[in-house]
Amino acid sequence: MTHQHLYDQQGKQLCCLKEEKILALAEVHDKVGHHHEDGHSHEHTDSHYFKWFLPSIVSFSILVFVLVLQHFWQPIWFSHPIQLLGYSLAFIPVGFPVIKDAWHSIKQGEWFSEFSLMSIATLGAFFIGEYPEAVAVMLFYSIGEVFQTMAVSKAKGNIKALLDQRPDYATVIRNGVAVEVEASHVQIGELIQLKPGQKLALDGILVSDSVSFNTSSLTGESQPDTKYCNEEVLAGMLNLNKVALVRVNKLYEDSKLSKILELVQDASQQKAPTELFIRKFAKTYTPIVVIFAVILCFFPYFIVRNYVFDEWLYRALIFLVISCPCALVISIPLGYFGGIGAASRHGILVKGGNFLDAIAKIKNVVMDKTGTMTEGVFKVQEVFLERDIDENTILKYVNSLESHSSHPIATAIHEYIGAVDTSIQLTEIEEIPGFGLRALIENKEILAGNFKLLDKFGISNQIHSSEIIYTTIAFAFDGKFAGYMTIADQIKEDAHSAIQKLHTLGVKTTMLSGDKTSVVKLVSETLGIDNFYGDLLPDDKVQRVNEIKLSGESVAFVGDGINDAPVVALSDVGIAMGGLGSDGTIEIADIVILDDKPSRISTTIQIGKSTQRIVWQNISLAFGVKLIVLILGAGGIATMWEAVFADVGVALLAIMNAIRIQRMNFG
């Protein structure tokens, strides 16, 4: 975002011009830091900060010189016109940019921006002869602006540093020779050599047999993750044990980490209700205070005996300085941005401040079972076949059919049966959501799924499926029941503590699953989940969530984010597990838990609540201090110095409070 772009958005009110300007300056700073990662960035950053402070330094130097001339040396030639010239020279470096911004905002129809208020107040002070205070107010205001920009820049930099761990260069094998090239120049299909201790720069497929990686830059979890040949590895992963070869399958700018970074950067565009309210409030609040300032200046003429215009104008100008909504329009967006950053540090991608507000109000967390509260890594436990069925043939057919599914159950079947027989030709392959798979082999129908699939196609059997505890995959061939296999999943290590933490926060838990009710019951009772429902189709899940919402409870749904798309869309907050492995998950969900840990659900709620608490602390601080100083200013007790504190000082305190959330520990 360039500075000029701030003034190119036609038809929009510029009440938040100050916020956008500071964020734009912070963006410039981020770009400077990003392009100087060769050991000189610190020096360049210091130089950049010096440029920001340079107008204030010049103004301060001239102001001190003029004050010394006026009050200590007192030369004869230093008459009133010369004094006015000296104070004007001190005012220009810090005052002209603010007056320029005020003019831009007025041209866009925003008469009551902070820039306009500061310009009127300081020029008014010049008019009544309060030259030193006029310069000092604008000087401290400008210094405060720089500190605010630095705070925003630091917050943005912290988030970027937490996530963007990609190296700028990669070692590529070209013509049998290892060549170091810029990561952005590596093409799809090229082979990267990754040594122990190096981070992967691009997404790809592991060519080596097995390698251990630290995935903390993606998931927030430093526990080693072993990847095997032909498995996907992602940019940002750190090689822990041996030289690895990776075949690139995505360009640098298309990597998973790039998408995550982009989503985090765009998250600030999704405004929370509190933030939107403050913006609307500022549009009304500021003009009202200006009207009160005008009344304060002129109305006493009718009720005060010894009315002195300059005195009451001075009080009105103080009133204007105090009325600037600086602390609100900057610290509140920064509070939400800090919450998003804190979530990123814990391996949680939140797509906007509005979702932090929403997750803080959640009363019922509804969750899927497979891959959410269980590992999603299935193992075949038992195989039952009808007597007249050839085991070798039917299992090959089932394996071939399941190869067209990406479900974890299909993976378990492949691991049990072995390699897919490529000589088997399947036609009319169909996946029936909530039931299973169907296809034709030599014009004979094969089915694989739950027993409801067999019922759907009129396949009779003598199996009492309700008596089987584990997940069951039944299959039929050529219109006859062929058999079934049972498959078991393992509960995630921190699933039990995740449910306990949710209950501690006063949040109810509900499990909805398409799996057998007996399996869902076993998992729910083991974990202590409040309510559970099994044997559900996607439409059934929608109905259950609707029932919960109609009871008046706000609902978060946690699932894979793709198969449960209707429920995710219906819920107040959609949370997806498995963001590390699914691009679709990142796109569809409001919040993505990158390391698949159920305990992150309660962490997200805690971050949402803490963000809300900090935002309301800032609102209370800003309004409380401003109200006190406004009353004192109207009574002639507060001076311009107190007004500066009520504006710039409180804004800085609110900003420091806002970025505090990034240092909090959420267990």
- The catalytic residue positions are 368
**Cβ–Cβ under 8 Å, residues 63 and 137:** no
Backbone angles phi, psi at 352, to 5 degrees: 170, 155
CA 455 – CA 471 distance, rounded (Å): 17
**Cβ–Cβ under 8 Å, residues 201 and 254:** no
Dig out the tokens for 497 from the structure. 């503590």
CA 107 – CA 389 distance, rounded (Å): 83
CA 639 – CA 623 distance, rounded (Å): 18
**CA atoms 105, 351, 149, 334: torsion sign:** positive
CA distances (Å), origin 444, targets 170, 476, 479: 52, 10, 8
Secondary structure class of 475 (helix, strand, coil): strand
Across the chain, which distance is largest between two alpha carbons, in Å?
A: 120
CA dihedral 298, 303, 308, 313 (to 10 degrees): -30
CA 319 – CA 640 distance, rounded (Å): 9
Q: 475-486 b/e with 16+ CB inside 10 Å = b?
A: bbbeeebbbbbb
**Cβ–Cβ under 8 Å, residues 338 and 654:** no
Centre a 10 Å sphere on the Cβ of residue 532 and count the other Cβ atoms it contains: 20
**Cβ–Cβ under 8 Å, residues 512 and 372:** no
Give the DSSP H or E segment for 549.
Answer: helix 538-550
Q: Please name the residue that has the structure tokens 């926060």.
A: 505
Long-range Cβ contacts of 382-390 (<8 Å, 24+ apart) = 382/470, 382/485, 382/486, 383/416, 383/483, 383/484, 383/485, 384/483, 384/484, 384/485, 385/482, 385/483, 386/480, 386/481, 386/482, 386/483, 389/477, 389/482, 389/483
CA 176 – CA 398 distance, rounded (Å): 43
| Residue of 148, 157, 164, 353 whose CA lies nearest to 266 | 353
Secondary structure class of 188 (helix, strand, coil): coil
Secondary structure class of 576 (helix, strand, coil): strand
CA 509 – CA 507 distance, rounded (Å): 7
CA 469 – CA 451 distance, rounded (Å): 14
Q: Which residues contact 14 (CB under 8 A, 6 or more apart)?
A: 6, 105, 108, 109, 110, 113
Which class for 51: exposed (0-12), middle (13-18), buried (19 or more C-beta within 10 A)? exposed
- In order, the DSSP letters of 419-438 are S--TTPPEEEEEEETTTEEE
Dig out the tokens for 433 from the structure. 């959501």
| Residue of 597, 663, 667, 616 whose CA lies nearest to 342 | 663
